[in-house]
Amino acid sequence: MSQTILLLAASPVDQATLRLDVEEREIDKSIRGSKHRDQFQLQKQGALRTDDLRRVLLDTTPTPLIVHFCGHGTGENGLVLENEQGNTQLVSTEALTNLFELFAGQIECVVLNACYSEVQASAIVQHVGYVIGMNKAIGDKAAIKFTTGFYDALVGGRSVEDAYKFGCNAIQSEGIPEHLTPVLKTNTAWKSLLEKSEQSSNASLIEHSSTETSNTPACSPTKTIHQQAGDNAKQIGEIGSAGTINL
């Protein structure tokens, strides 16, 4: 079964225009260019309103592996979505956190590619595996480069932690002085489950190779890393004990 990357975008008419179409294109290119392309699908929701956010999370099947928001952030006042007229509608950190709590253990990573979104990342990580936020304002070019590096690595079979580092390096490689702006928040309980699932998978592969001579290929590393961790996380229902990693 393919894993879903859910792209959520909001650019209200009363805010500075962002190149969200370019960010979408880069994610799509990362998927199409990967040897694991058949394991991922990109779903999109633009002009995001509060009702849209709830509905798209409920309607996306399977529940998305990655939820990626691109748009504006205001720090303590929340993320910027759109109202019925296309103007700014703020959604608070508390409301976002409570929404993701309803999907606890189902989403591996949330990417908040918006200015000052570290506040929301610190809160949401109680309920998902990883959250990436920005510790200050981030320019369009840096945000797009982070997205490119992150998804090139993620769909290439790397872990979220590795993909985060590739994203930061993509910014740095362009000579943009914003590679320290993205911050990765890690749910340590989820990470523990991930490590256990990898150990179990490796042990199974070793056992299989020692007892079978079949030429049938083993499951791909990407599915093992991302899908199995999500399956294990569902068993604990609620995930706590969050930690923070800064590159």
* pTM summary value: 0.83
Measured distance CA(115)–CA(132) in Å, rounded: 12
pLDDT, tens digit, 9 for 90 and up, residues 188-201: 888 777 677 666 65
pLDDT, tens digit, 9 for 90 and up, residues 227-247: 555 554 555 444 444 555 554
Residue 223 has pLDDT above 50, yes or no: no
pLDDT, tens digit, 9 for 90 and up, residues 159-191: 999 999 999 999 999 999 999 999 999 998 887
34-57 burial: b if 16+ Cβ within 10 Å, else e? bebeebbbbeebbebbbebbeebb
Give phi and psi for 187, each to the nearest 5.
-85, 110
| Residue in the structure block whose two tokens are 């899908």 | 227
Contacts of 124 (CB under 8 A, 6+ apart): 96, 97, 100, 110, 131, 185
